[in-house]
Structure 1
Amino acid sequence: MEHLLARVKTLAAEAAADTVALRQHLHANPELSFKEFKTVAFVGQELEKLGLHPQPLATTGLVVLIEGRNPGRRVVALRADMDALPIQEQNEVPYKSTNAGVMHACGHDVHTSSLLGTARILSQLRDEFEGTVKLIFQPGEELLPGGASLMIQEGVLENPVPASILGQHVFPLLPAGQVGLRSGRYMASTDELYLTVRGKGGHGAMPEQNIDPVLVAAHIIVAAQQIVSRRASPKLPSVLSFGKVIANGATNVIPNEVKLEGTFRTLNEEWRNEAHGHLRKLVEGLAESMGASCELEIRRGYPYLENEPQLTARTRSAAEEYLGAENVVELDQWMAAEDFAYYSQVTNACFYRLGTRAADGRFAASVHTPTFDIDSRALEVGPGLMTWLTLRELAAE
C-alpha cells in the first residue's frame, strides 16, 4: 500500500493546478440552489473528458460511476454539493463572482472541484482497486428540502447500493493540510419557526383597552427557553433562538399582531419531535392566558448528522496514513446543519472537515461571509485525501 499511497500523492500534486482552475471557474460563476444549470453542465463536461458517463438526477444533480476491477465487490459513494449563497462577494480576486448577489461563500466550489480532482485520480487508478466508486454531484444543499433528500428519493443510493458514503466540508478554523473528524452525532437537525401573535391594537396610552401582542411575544420569547433549559436533558445539546421580531406599531401605537421567526436545533430525532409538541403547547397556552392567540408553523428541516463509528474510525486511520496523525484533529459537535445528514440517516456515512486557512493566518474568514476564500493548497490535499480514503474503504472487509 505504500507504493499506492505515494502514487496517489503524486497524482494529486500533478492535478493540483487543474483543480485550482476548476475551482476558480466555479467560484466566478456561482448559481443558487436548484438553479445550478450552467454548473452541472460544466461538471458533466469535465467528467466526460475523463471518459466517464454522468447521469442526471434531481434536475440539477449528477451521478457517475468509476469501476475498478471486480466492480461488484464493494461500492463507496462520494458526495459534493454545488450551489452557492445569496451573498455579494467582497473579495477582490481575479476569480471574483461575476453574478451579482451570488457567491460561493460556503465552499461548495471547493467541494465540487475537489471531487472532480478525485474523479481524475481514481480514473487513473482503475487497475489498482477492486469495486465501484459512485460520485454524487448534488444540488440545493442550502435550501429546503435539500438536494440530498431529492436525490435519495430518486434512487441515488440504489443500483448499485453503496456500503458507505463520504463527504467533506471546508473548515477555515483549520490550516490547509489538516482535517477534522468526529464519530457519532456531529451536526444538528434544523427546524424553522414562524409565529404570529394576534391581539388587539390601539393607542399606547390606553393599554387597558387593548390586548398587547408585543407583551405576549416578549413573554413567549423568554418562556420558550424553558423547552431547552428544563425539558431537554442537560446531556443533549439543543438550541432555540428567535432572530426576527416584527411589531409594526409606533411609539404610541400597539399593533394588532407580532411576527416572530426562529430556529430549533438538536441532536436527537425523538427529542426533536417531542420538543415540537412542547413548544406548540407553550406558545398557544401562554398567548391564550393573556387574552391573545398564537399560530405556530414549524417547517421541518434537515435531520441531525450521524457519523457511523466504525466507518469514521477507518476514515481517521486512513487520514492519518495520508496526512500524518498530527494533522488529523478531533472536532467538537456543531449545531449548524447540513443536508448530508439525510445520507447518514439511511446508510453508513462519514462527514469530515477540510482545513482551508493559510499557515500565516490568511483565509480565516468564516463560511457564509462575503470575504470567505481558501488557501489553494487545500485543493491538492482534498482530492488526494478523498482518493486515499476511498481506496482504503473499498479494501475494507
Structure 2
Amino acid sequence: MTGDNNETSMNKKDDIKRLASEIKNDIISKRRYLHQNPELSFQEYNTSAFIKDSLNALGITWEPIVGTGVVATIQGRYDSDQVVAARADMDALPVSEKTDLSYISLNDGVMHACGHDVHVSSLLGVAEILTKLDNNFSGTVKLIFQPAEEILPGGAMRVIQENALDNPKVNAMIGQHVMPSIPTGKVGIKPGEFMASMDEIRIKISGRGGHGAEPHKNSDPIVAASAVILALQQVVSRLNNPNTPSVLSFGKVQANGSINIIPDEVLIEGTFRTVDEQWRNEACKRIESIVHSVAEGYGCQSVIDIRKGYPSLHNDITLTKRIKELMRDYLGAENIIDLPVWMASEDFAYYARVTDACFYALGVGYEGTENPSLHNPLFDINEDSIELGIGLMTYLILSLLNK
C-alpha cells in the first residue's frame, strides 16, 4: 500500500510540473495584463471581472464576496470532508511605477508594487491545473481572491465575516507572497510566529507659536515633538523584552512653521510592530503615557490616536511542518529557506486566527543582483518564478486534501 501511495504521489507531482510548464506562458500573459491595469483597495472592479471571466472559461463555479472579491469552489471527484483554501490578494498600491517594462502600469499613480498581480495570476493557474487534472482528487478546494490587503481594516476580516470559509468549512488554508530577496527557484517558510502586527500611530502636539527670536514667549511644539520621538525609542530599547521582535518607526513629521516662525502644532505619524499580542497591547499603553507626560513637561498638549491594525501572523506549526516536507518533495531540500521573523504585516493573519493556516514566501528575485524591494516603484519579478508558484501551490493543495 505504501508503495502504491508513493507511486501515485510521484505521478501527481510529475503531472502538475508538466501542466505548470504548459500553461506558464498563458499565466505570465495574465500577470502582465493585471500589472498593466492595477486598481486600489476595494476598487478592483476590472480585476474582479477578469478573474470571473477566467473562471468561467474553465467552467469553475464562483461567488462574489466583499464587493470586488471572488470565491471559487472546485469539487473533487471523490467524497471527503477535507476542504483546503488558497488565497490571493488583488489590490495595488498608490505608487507611480518607474520601471521600463513593456507592460508598465497604465493607471497613473497606481502600481502592483507588492506582487498581487502575481498572486492572482498564480491562483488562476492553480484553478486551471486542477481542471486539467479532471478534478481527480478528494474533497473541496476554495480559491479566495481577496480585495484590499493594503489598507486597514483589510479585506480578510470581511471575507471571514461573510462566511467564505464555511459551507463547507475550511480545514487548512495556504497563501504565498512574492519575495524579491529570495532567488527564483526557491521558497521560504517559517513555522510559528512569522509576521508582525501593525498599529498606526498619529500624534498631535499643540503649543503656542510665535516669533523664532522670542522662544521664551512660546510653548514650542517642535522641541516637544522632538523630545517625544526620542523618548518613545525606549519602548523598544528598554521596556521591551529583547527576545521579542518589535519595531517603532516614525515616517512623517509635519510642522508648518518657517525659519523664524514657531508653529502652533506638530503632527507625527508612525507605526508600531511586534509578534507578541500581549506586549502589543501593553506597548500601546506605554506609548500613550510617554507622549502625554513628555508633551506636558514641555508645556504642550498632546492628542494621540493609535489605530489597531492587523494582528501578528502565526503559521500553524503542525501544518507548516507538513508543508515544508511537501516542499522538499516538490523542490528538493536545497531550495527551501528557513525564514526569520518578517516585521511586515499581512491581513492573512486573520485567517490564521480561525483555521490552520500557512503563509510562505515565493522567491521571485534574480540571482546575483540586488532586486528592488516590495513597495518600490522599480519593483519587478523574474517571471520564471510563476511556473513554480502555480505548480507548488497546486501540489500542496492536493497533498493536503489527500493526507
The aligned counterpart of 2:4 is none
Measure how far apart 1:126 and its partner are: 4.3
- The whole-number CA distance in structure 1 between the counterparts of 2:256 and 2:99 is 36
Matched-pair contact (CA < 8 Å) for 2:75–2:135: no
Measure how far apart 1:93 and its partner are: 2.1
Match of 1:172 among 173, 180, 187: 180
One-letter amino acid of the structure 1 residue matched with residue 147 of structure 2: P
Change (3 A) 1:104 1:127: closer
- The whole-number CA distance in structure 2 between the counterparts of 1:252 and 1:209 is 14
SS at structure 1 position matched to 2:81: coil
Match of 1:372 among 371, 375, 379: 379
The answer to which of 321-330 and 198-207 deviates more is 198-207
Match of 2:288 among 280, 285, 296: 280
- The whole-number CA distance in structure 1 between the counterparts of 2:35 and 2:394 is 23
Match of 1:121 among 121, 129, 140: 129
Match of 2:153 among 142, 145, 154: 145
- The whole-number CA distance in structure 2 between the counterparts of 1:61 and 1:72 is 27
Q: Is 1:350 the equivalent of 2:358?
A: yes
The superposition leaves residues 195-223 of structure 1 with CA deviations (integer Å, 9 ceiling, x where unpaired) of: 00011111122222111111111110011
Measure how far apart 1:348 and its partner are: 1.0
- The whole-number CA distance in structure 2 between the counterparts of 1:242 and 1:393 is 42
SS at structure 1 position matched to 2:138: coil
- The whole-number CA distance in structure 2 between the counterparts of 1:358 and 1:203 is 55
Correspondence 1:233-382 to 2 at 5 A? 233-359=241-367, 361=369, 364-382=371-389
The superposition leaves residues 179-200 of structure 1 with CA deviations (integer Å, 9 ceiling, x where unpaired) of: 0001110111111110000111
Q: Is 1:156 the equivalent of 2:161?
A: no
Change (3 A) 1:245 1:127: closer
Identity among equivalent positions (%) equals 51
One-letter amino acid of the structure 1 residue matched with residue 128 of structure 2: R
Q: Is 1:219 the equivalent of 2:227?
A: yes
One-letter amino acid of the structure 1 residue matched with residue 133 of structure 2: L
Measure how far apart 1:73 and its partner are: 2.3
Matched-pair contact (CA < 8 Å) for 1:67–1:126: no
Q: How many positions carry a matched residue from both structures?
A: 395
The superposition leaves residues 208-256 of structure 1 with CA deviations (integer Å, 9 ceiling, x where unpaired) of: 2111111111110011111112221111111111111111112222111
- The whole-number CA distance in structure 2 between the counterparts of 1:83 and 1:380 is 22
Match of 1:136 among 127, 144, 157: 144
Structure 2 gap segments, 5+ residues each = 1-8
Q: Is 1:31 the equivalent of 2:39?
A: yes
- The whole-number CA distance in structure 2 between the counterparts of 1:199 and 1:361 is 49
Matched-pair contact (CA < 8 Å) for 1:82–1:139: yes
SS at structure 1 position matched to 2:170: coil
- The whole-number CA distance in structure 2 between the counterparts of 1:89 and 1:161 is 40
The aligned counterpart of 1:189 is 197
Match of 1:391 among 395, 398, 401: 398
Matched-pair contact (CA < 8 Å) for 2:61–2:74: no
Change (3 A) 1:360 1:293: closer
Measure how far apart 1:271 and its partner are: 1.1
Structure 1 gap segments, 5+ residues each = none
Matched-pair contact (CA < 8 Å) for 1:50–1:120: yes
One-letter amino acid of the structure 1 residue matched with residue 316 of structure 2: E
The aligned counterpart of 1:99 is 107
- The whole-number CA distance in structure 2 between the counterparts of 1:50 and 1:300 is 40
- The whole-number CA distance in structure 2 between the counterparts of 1:159 and 1:284 is 49
Q: Is 1:207 the equivalent of 2:215?
A: yes
- The whole-number CA distance in structure 1 between the counterparts of 2:171 and 2:216 is 66
Matched-pair contact (CA < 8 Å) for 2:205–2:224: yes
Measure how far apart 1:70 and its partner are: 3.3
Measure how far apart 1:295 and its partner are: 0.2
SS at structure 2 position matched to 1:54: strand
Measure how far apart 1:274 and its partner are: 1.1
- The whole-number CA distance in structure 2 between the counterparts of 1:71 and 1:84 is 38
TM-score, normalising length: structure 1: 0.97
- The whole-number CA distance in structure 1 between the counterparts of 2:261 and 2:30 is 56
Measure how far apart 1:158 and its partner are: 1.2
Matched-pair contact (CA < 8 Å) for 1:200–1:211: yes
The answer to which of 66-75 and 20-29 deviates more is 66-75
The superposition leaves residues 146-205 of structure 1 with CA deviations (integer Å, 9 ceiling, x where unpaired) of: 111111111121111111110000011112111000111011111111000011111122
SS at structure 2 position matched to 1:39: helix
Change (3 A) 1:94 1:71: farther
One-letter amino acid of the structure 2 residue matched with residue 175 of structure 1: P
The superposition leaves residues 67-101 of structure 1 with CA deviations (integer Å, 9 ceiling, x where unpaired) of: 11334420001000111111121222221111111
Which of structure 1's runs of 4+ aligned residues deviate more than 6 A?
none
The aligned counterpart of 2:53 is 45
The answer to which of 72-81 and 248-257 deviates more is 248-257
The superposition leaves residues 231-287 of structure 1 with CA deviations (integer Å, 9 ceiling, x where unpaired) of: 211111111111111111122221111110111111011111111111111111221
